[in-house]
Amino acid sequence: MSTQRVRIAVYPGSFDPVTNGHLDLIGRCAPLVDRLIVAVLRNAGKQPLFSPEERMEMLREATRHVANVEVDSFDGLLVEFARRRGACLLLRGIRAISDYEYELQMALMNRRLAPEIETVFMMAGEAYSFLSSRLVKEVIALGGDVSGLVPPQVEAKLKQRLAAKPAGRASAG
């Protein structure tokens, strides 16, 4: 009799902040694995709008209803984090062709570093294929409406944070 392996996936990203596009991907991947770890990249170089703790808190709140989703954070090599957490799969999203080249590079490098871990791509939901955290921050900073694109509590946090900054100064990501 063979013992069945627990399938753990890691979904890494900046999530600065989480959008409904990320959540759509999480909702579609979670039923396919035993555990989905959403992993916030603690990368000081990127000058994020929200701290890793704030980004994790927003993710936790938005994924509270999905039982097998866990939120964590990492620094350094993604594959080392994935190994530590016992993951066999890395999840990434593809929106447009423009995502493809970078994602392919990353996936091939990660395969070289950790051949036992597979990168799996899911296509963005049609309604979210234009959506990025960066665009949401730009629109909010200019006073536009982003309801339906991010969870309501994220929209409130964005308004609060960006109200304190001059328009057009939203950070990248």
Residues binding ligand ADP (CB under 6 A): 13-15, 19, 21-22, 25, 92-93, 95, 99, 124, 128, 131-133, 173
14, 132, 133, 137: which one is catalytic? 133
**Is 95 assigned a catalytic role?**
yes
Least CB distance to ligand ADP at residue 143 (A): 22
22, 92, 137, 157: which one is catalytic? 22
Least CB distance to ligand ADP at residue 135 (A): 9
The interaxial angle of helices 20-29 and 52-63, nearest 10 deg, is 60
**Is 65 assigned a catalytic role?**
no
46, 64, 159, 169: which one is catalytic? 46
8 A C-beta contact, residue 29 and residue 36: yes
Tokens of 101: 């080249």
Length of the chain: 173
Q: Which residues pair with 93 in a beta bridge?
A: 122
Closest to ligand ADP by CB, 52 or 93: 93
CA-to-CA distance for 27 and 124, rounded, in angstroms?
12
Q: For 16-51, b where at least 16 C-beta lie within 10 A, e where not — what string?
A: bbbbbbbbbbbbebbeebebbbbbbbbeeeeebbbe
Least CB distance to ligand ADP at residue 149 (A): 9
Closest to ligand ADP by CB, 23 or 162: 23
Angle at 58 between CA 77 and CA 17, to 5 degrees: 65
CA atoms within 13 A on the CB side of 28: 15
**Is 133 assigned a catalytic role?**
yes
Closest to ligand ADP by CB, 1 or 96: 96
Least CB distance to ligand ADP at residue 109 (A): 14
**Nearest-CB residue to ligand ADP?**
21
Closest to ligand ADP by CB, 1 or 44: 44
Catalytic residues: 22, 46, 95, 133
